[in-house]
Structure 1
Amino acid sequence: MKNIYIIGIGLIGGSLAIDIKRNDPETVIYGISRKDATLEEALSLKLIDKKATLDDISNADLVILAIPVDATVKLLPTVLDKISDSALVIDAGSTKLDICKAVENHPKRRNFLAMHPIAGTEYSGPSAAISNLFVGKTNIICEVEKTTFKLQEKALELFKSIGMRIRYMNPEAHDKHIAYVSHLSHISSFMLGKTVIEKEKNERDIFDMAGSGFASTVRLAKSSPEMWTPIFRQNKTNVIETLEEYINNLAHFKKLMESDDFEAVFDEMKNTNHIKDILEGIS
């Protein structure tokens, strides 16, 4: 795939560009963005080789959408309209059901592969792009059977070349599971940050007293609201379900403390220590 067009040159799109180019220097990476300043920055950082527009993607071998999920839902049908019959389109959104539904009856549905690389940081924009972001990370692929086999093979070869592990899942299961392991953790981080900001009016106190535990827990609160609000909107039902369970657990913990049942508090934390075994090996 020699002509690759990336729509959205931020953390994910830019990091994909870096690794794809490193593995195949002959590939030409084109960048597409609503903002010319973003493309200029991407050019200066050598994430892309050339600027492009949507009208140019008829020349694409591969189009990667790495934009907010609400924008993907709107733009994906248009992208499929414009590509050649041999081109592949993939998206990297954190929700999959609405995106897959948006093109389920499109004449070129066979040219689309829905994916979600479980990788990232709390930073955004072209300057956030880093090399080897995807090494050892899981890439969830949904509805692979709806993509023509030859394009599946090309995509899997690309994903494996930049170090991704592959897992297959249907969109409904993906959105349900990701609400627990990703979306809830972002909400928790945002709300912890909100609570501390509202309680500690003197920001110097926060700075002086914040330890590594607070910093690591609130890290995700630095994530882009422009990206995460559409994710919460698209996965609203699953996110609300996870929030209800989380709130119930918080309320239970509070009651244990109110009743001075610290033996039960100990047991709650001890039982939860099992999470370290589950997460062992995840960087």
Structure 2
Amino acid sequence: MVSLILSRPITKKLNLSRFKPYGLRLYSTKKSNPLRILFCGSDDFSIASLRAIHAEHKRDPDLIKSIDVLCRPGKPAGRSLKQIREVPIKAVAQELGLPLHERDTFTGWNLPKSNDESINLIVAVSFGLFVPPRILKVVEYGGLNVHPSLLPDYRGPAPLQRMIMRREKASGVTLQTLDDKSFDHGKILAQEWFPLEPEAMTYQKLLETVMPKAAKILVDGLQNRLFVPPLVEDTRWQYKLPQKLTHAAKITPKDKKVYWYTKSAAVDIPARQNALGRLWTTVLV
């Protein structure tokens, strides 16, 4: 039995002229206290949002007074596990001169003070840890999250990869509250829809498309004080969600295995390669 690896993304141009992307922008006269944000993040997707709210902090300190960053500690990496692989957002927080906190659990941990003042809003973007109720309930404005899908479709940790694998023709970004019971079940405060080119879309291309949209919907939500009660759910979607919703489950090695003899192999294999990169299979010899 031999393992084969497929590594080159497959792309093909698709005419999407009939689609008209639609973005939602809400305006509010709500007022809030200056925000002292605890930003919880990890990767490039969350870094884009952190940079955006940091720029807004510099532009309007009356809106955002301070930003602390929370990330998970680095993990041993390499064959000997002697190197520590740091979470990418750590270097960005240090670059921006923001207070940095590293935790792998909320157990036994209390929110930090910002210049002797309490954090009053938590923003979690691609963080990976569940923010517990005891933390959320002591924060004046609770928590916000940006998710790279039109929720409730594609709840879960791998929405971008799953969309590409399923050859979706449209998606979006969602600004929601942090739910105190489970991931991706908060109140939907704002959404933006946009078209996809399923045959030409790779993970990196979709990530680069989604990052600025997610950062913008977050900043717009802060500017419009969408986090201030009473919370108003955004139901004005231009894109109609399917009757059967998709769960964006975590990617596993099994997802990267090629099954040659399925009816849909001709389209499934390129889509998986575009979403996941290198694939593997087995053949009898």
TM-score by length of 1: 0.40
Q: Larger relative CO (CA 8 A, sep 6+): 1 or 2?
A: 2
Query: When you count helix as a share of all residues, which structure comes out higher?
Result: 1
Normalising by structure 2, what TM-score? 0.39
